[in-house]
């Protein structure tokens, strides 16, 4: 079967038809984490409590997997509204993770020449979605303390007239909340849609969700990923129904699987466990924020997320040394000039954080 003559190999054919900007990319690499203490991806370190797991198993066993799921996801949206305080008059869009929502929003607004604008460093999926949708991406650097450079943002908005602005609130990978007045000014100045991405809302105690009705061009996005349910892939966006109606036209009709929908209803039928875990994570975050700067040559940035950004005198050495000690964090050193020397450490269980701190004790250098 292998003697069929071939004019060209698959790589050549692909290279002749794949979009050049895609061909030039390297695929997003998810770090291997087998057997490591995993503090690199902002996951919740706690599993689902046994009673909730039992309810989940029961719900999943009842799913009619021979049928397509409910494309409108009515029960799922009701569960979200009940559990997470989504307003009754607001429109809600569900996605296979917020990654898919970002993609749908970008594709919908990608008129020829349209601009997506975001501060940087920020969540890399924004830039990636601009490329995917064919939007021009414009980045405005944060200030060295990771706050928004408001005048640079307003200048860029005036110059570029963006169709879409992304603000991660708190910001990934820096962990801080931007000033409320700065965000308000960006929303007022932007001719297009401003997405406030609240992936870390559970740890932040700050939100623009109650302000949807106040701004006709505001969308707030959240996800279940950072509150213990990254595996089921569910993100949701809240905005005026006029926006949601447009996005629904490009949403694949069955983008949220029947298993995910049933899981959401079961997992959110009682939300006490989510609050308990989020509080434990905030307590441990505060402990890391206090303990890390006591190490020689280490400083930490203020954080309102489930991770801490710390600057080290020898970040690359510390990163490798942690790996040798079976602890995986995220090395931000080469990401952006403002992040030189920085590692991003997801808050783990008390035991995992103890292991991290004792490893860092061995690895940090007296200055
Ligand atoms: C983790 C994260 C998300 C979540 O993406 P999902 O696809 O829902 O897992 C979205 N936005 C930001 C800024 C994040 O850090």
Cα-to-centroid distance, 171 and ligand 1 (Å): 11
For CA atoms 254, 260, 262, 266, the dihedral sign is negative
Q: With residue 47 as reference, give the H or E element that holds it.
A: none
Which residue, judged by its Cα, is nearest atom 11 of ligand 1?
Answer: 199
Cα-to-centroid distance, 9 and ligand 1 (Å): 37
Nearest to 135 by CA among 153, 160, 110: 110
* Phi and psi, residue 195, nearest 5°: -100, 120
Which residue, judged by its Cα, is nearest atom 15 of ligand 1?
Answer: 172
Nearest to 22 by CA among 131, 170, 159: 131
pLDDT value at position 28? 73
Nearest to 104 by CA among 112, 92, 113, 95: 95
Which residue, judged by its Cα, is nearest atom 3 of ligand 1?
Answer: 199
Please give the Cα distance from 203 to 304 (Å, whole number): 6
Name the β-bridge partners of 94: 236
> Would you mind telling me the total number of residues written for the chain in this entry?
367
| Atom in ligand 1 nearest the alpha carbon of residue 101 | 7
Cα-to-centroid distance, 144 and ligand 1 (Å): 24
Q: What is the best residue among 40, 101, 123 to mutate for testing ligand 1's pocket, by most ligand atoms within 8 Å of CB?
A: 123
Using the CB atoms, write b or e for 239-259: b if 16+ within 10 Å. Answer: bbeebbebbbeebeeebbbbe
Contact yes or no for 49/276 (Cβ under 8 A): no
Q: What is the best residue among 28, 225, 255, 346 to mutate for testing ligand 1's pocket, by most ligand atoms within 8 Å of CB?
A: 225
Nearest to 33 by CA among 346, 328, 331, 349: 328
Which residue, judged by its Cα, is nearest atom 2 of ligand 1?
Answer: 199
Which residue, judged by its Cα, is nearest atom 12 of ligand 1?
Answer: 199
Look up residue 154 and give its DSSP letter: H
| Atom in ligand 1 nearest the alpha carbon of residue 96 | 7
Cα-to-centroid distance, 61 and ligand 1 (Å): 28
pLDDT value at position 30? 77
Residues enclosing ligand 1, CB less than 6 A? 42, 97-99, 123, 168, 172, 197, 199, 223, 225-226, 230, 235
Confidence (pTM): 0.95
Q: What is the best residue among 235, 236, 260 to mutate for testing ligand 1's pocket, by most ligand atoms within 8 Å of CB?
A: 235
pLDDT value at position 4? 61
Which residue, judged by its Cα, is nearest atom 14 of ligand 1?
Answer: 199
| Atom in ligand 1 nearest the alpha carbon of residue 122 | 13
Spans in the chain with pLDDT lower than 70: 1-7, 87-89, 366-367
Please give the Cα distance from 97 to 107 (Å, whole number): 16
Cα-to-centroid distance, 318 and ligand 1 (Å): 26
| Atom in ligand 1 nearest the alpha carbon of residue 230 | 9
Cα-to-centroid distance, 349 and ligand 1 (Å): 21
Please give the Cα distance from 237 to 64 (Å, whole number): 27
Please give the Cα distance from 142 to 112 (Å, whole number): 28
Residues 177-222 have pLDDT tens digits of: 999 999 999 999 999 999 999 999 999 999 999 999 999 999 999 9
Contact yes or no for 150/224 (Cβ under 8 A): no
| Tokens standing for residue 254 | 């069955």
Cα-to-centroid distance, 97 and ligand 1 (Å): 7
Please give the Cα distance from 310 to 313 (Å, whole number): 10
């Amino acid at each position: 079967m292998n003697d069929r003559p071939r004019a060209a190999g698959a790589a050549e054919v692909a290279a002749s038809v794949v979009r050049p900007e895609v061909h030039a990319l390297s695929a997003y690499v998810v770090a291997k984490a087998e057997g490591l203490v995993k503090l690199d991806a902002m996951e919740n370190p706690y599993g689902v409590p046994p009673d909730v797991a039992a309810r989940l198993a029961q719900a999943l066993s009842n799913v009619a997997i021979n049928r397509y799921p409910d494309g409108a996801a009515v029960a799922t949206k009701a569960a979200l509204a009940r559990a997470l305080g989504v307003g009754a008059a607001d429109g809600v869009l569900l996605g296979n993770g917020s990654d898919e929502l970002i993609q749908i929003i970008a594709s919908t607004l990608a008129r020829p020449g349209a601009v997506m604008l975001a501060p940087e460093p920020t969540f890399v999926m924004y830039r990636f979605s601009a490329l995917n949708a064919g939007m021009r991406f414009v980045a405005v650097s944060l200030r060295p303390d990771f706050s928004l450079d408001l005048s640079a943002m307003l200048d860029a908005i005036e110059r570029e007239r963006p169709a879409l602005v992304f603000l991660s609130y708190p910001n990934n990978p820096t962990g801080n909340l931007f000033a409320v007045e700065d965000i308000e000014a960006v929303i007022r100045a932007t001719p297009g849609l401003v997405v406030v991405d609240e992936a870390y809302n559970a740890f932040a105690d700050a939100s623009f969700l109650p302000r949807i009705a106040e701004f006709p061009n505001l969308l707030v996005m959240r996800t279940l990923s950072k509150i213990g349910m990254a595996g089921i892939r569910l993100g949701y966006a809240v905005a005026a129904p006029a926006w949601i109606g447009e996005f629904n036209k490009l949403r694949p009709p069955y983008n949220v699987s029947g298993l995910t929908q049933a899981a959401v209803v079961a997992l959110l039928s009682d939300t006490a466990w989510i609050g308990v875990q989020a509080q434990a994570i905030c307590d441990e975050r505060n402990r890391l924020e206090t303990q890390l700067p006591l190490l020689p040559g280490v400083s930490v940035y203020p954080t309102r997320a489930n991770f801490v950004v710390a600057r080290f005198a020898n970040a690359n050495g510390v990163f490798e040394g942690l790996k040798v000690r079976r602890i995986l964090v995220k090395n931000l050193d080469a990401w952006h000039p403002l992040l030189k020397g920085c590692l991003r450490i997801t808050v783990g269980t008390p035991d995992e954080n103890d292991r991290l701190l004792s490893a860092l004790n061995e690895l940090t250098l007296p200055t």
